[in-house]
Structure 1
Amino acid sequence: MKFVYNLTKPYIFVVYLFNIWSVFCKLLDTSYSKPGDIKLTGSALVKFDVQGVSLVHCGSLCSEDECCKEVLYNATSGRCIGSPFSDFKSTLNNLVEASYDGMSKYQKGCESGWLEFKAHCFLHVLDLVSWYDAKLVCKKKCSYLVEINSLEESNWLASTFLDKVTCGADEFFSCTSWIGGNDMNVEGSYVWDHSNTSLVYTNWHPQEPSLLHPSDASTRDCIDLLRSGRWNDRPCLYSNTFICEKKFGD
């Protein structure tokens, strides 16, 4: 009897192991909360609704989607639903209506590359772009240009992302980053872009906003963060790095 060795079987096995390893690595970069005891009921527009998958596979589907906020899972049926960020639903395509009776919720944490602070996630993007383009990039990630609400937060962002040994001598033109504040609509009345709320807390540099050159104020409508944690107003077309923010918790 002639023995025939099937070379495709080792290949299939290697591909299988690679796929398992890829899923595992994705989950290592993203944490999920433990589900609560209460089973959810209701319906909503969701990112995806699949059947017959493991909880690990379900988590990996959400981990690789920047607009997936959490997963709902039924261990009996293997049903997996990916829920989007509610404040970005109107901008997302291909959402489907799904009921989720009897499912458990697993809350996604900060994704790979994002850092957590006070239950929010932050990403420093090093591309040099205008304030308008920075806003669009953050939006595509289902996030927004950072909105700073305390001295602690301002200092954390600056020390974490901007204050580096490679920074130049002039803090106004080295190691700066766009944030979400602007006064485009009414000169001198600054608001946060995403929440459309007035700035309750501010941390202006002593010379800002445009205090030394008040005639320039009308052309400097966007705020950037300096590496000292102080704020500066600047023309919105200036090429700058930027910080995106998203909140995963309820």
Structure 2
Amino acid sequence: MTAFCCFFMYFIIFFSGQLNVASGSIYQAGFINYGRLYNNDGQVCISDRTVFKADSVTSWVECAVLCSNTDLCFAIFYNSETRKCTGCTYFGDNETLIDAGTKFYSRIGYRLIQQQMSWTNAKAKCLELGGSLVSIKSLQEHDFIVRILSGFYAVDTDLRIWIGGNDMATEGTFLWEDETAFAETPGATKWGPRQPNNYNSQDCVQLYNEDCEWYWNDESCVLKLYSVCDMN
């Protein structure tokens, strides 16, 4: 029942690191894929994350091309009525303002590694591929990633996935790969019920699915799981 629910909720499947799409949620501008995150529609990029603003942009594709050609731009907010295009460093947050008619698209720069390995080896694998274990610093980014993963969950009901968080240095102080503390993004965590609990010295963070909802959990770092690399 859970797998059925998740599959028909998202319609997106990962196979062998490639994105196979069964609906119109993924769009391409040049050689870069963009995904529509409907939860962010109507919002605007906050000022300290805005990379550029452009007027008289005829389509979201033209807007995406501008983003693709701009350093540090990983998402766009495009309004087809006003023809305004805004490039953003990444996901917004719950404090962003409402701008009616604006649609949100983000680059798809994630790769699912379908090889079971320890957290340390997963980290090394992402580095080998030119990325890093994914750091999730907003609930919007969490939603975007699990929207992609949920289609695969319909195939593998026991899917658990390494992400970049850990508290190896100091128990209870979780850090991302860039050493940003979870505490620096309050309200942006998605711990499961009664997690983290450090059961039997668990120091690494995984994603897991329960009743069609994805959560975070601390787990033993030697456990062999799939992983998600951030290739942005």
Question: TM-score, structure 2 length as denominator?
Answer: 0.50
Larger radius of gyration: 1
Structure of higher RCO (CA pairs closer than 8 Å, 6+ residues apart): 2
Between Structure 1 and Structure 2, which shows a larger proportion of strand residues? Answer: 2
